[in-house]
Amino acid sequence: MSTVTLSKTSSYDRTMQLFGGMWFMLLALGVAFRIGSSGSDPWPSLLSSFCLAVFYVLLGLLVITRPPAKARADGLLPRLAAFVGTYMPWTIAFFGKTDQALPNLASTACVLIGMIMMLVTIRHLGRSFSLVPQARNVVQTGPYRWIKHPLYLAEEIAVLGVVLRNPTPLTAVLLVLHIGIQICRIYYEEDLLRRNCPEYSAYEASRWRLIPHVW
Interval 92-144: pLDDT, tens: 877 777 888 899 999 999 999 998 988 888 777 765 555 444 555 677 778 88
Nearest to 44 by CA among 90, 93, 109: 109
CB contact at 8 A, 200 and 138 = yes
- pLDDT-wise least confident of 44-53, 131-140, 145-154, 164-173: 131-140
Say if residues 1 and 70 touch (Cβ distance below 8 Å). no
Q: Which of 71-80, 137-146, 166-175 has the lowest mean pLDDT?
A: 71-80
Alpha-carbon gap, residue 129 to 116, rounded angstroms? 16
Is the pLDDT higher at 150 or at 74? 150
Question: Using CA atoms, how far apart are residues 172 and 189, in angstroms rounded to an integer?
Answer: 26
pLDDT for position 7: 46
11-20, 149-158, 198-207 — most confident range: 149-158
Instruction: Please report the pLDDT score of residue 192 as a whole number.
Output: 80
10 Å Cβ neighbour count for 138?
18
Q: Sorting pLDDT into bands at 50, 70 and 90, what band is 73?
A: low
| Residue 12 binned pLDDT confidence (cut-offs 50, 70, 90) | low
Which DSSP helix (H) or strand (E) runs through 26? helix 3-37
**Nearest 5°: phi and psi at 168?**
-130, 165
Q: What is the pLDDT of residue 23?
A: 84
The pLDDT value given to residue 138: 74
Query: What percent of the chain lies above the pLDDT cut of 90?
Result: 8
How would you label 95-132 residue by residue, b for 16+ Cβ within 10 Å and e otherwise?
A: eebbeeeebbbbbbbbbbebbebbeebbeebeebbbbb
Yes or no: domain 3-204 corresponds to CATH 1.20.1250.20: no
Query: What is the chain's Cα-based Rg?
Result: 18
| Whether the predicted pLDDT of 149 surpasses 60 | yes
Nearest Cα to 66, choosing from 118, 9, 21?
21
Work out the mean pLDDT of the chain and round it to a whole number.
Answer: 79
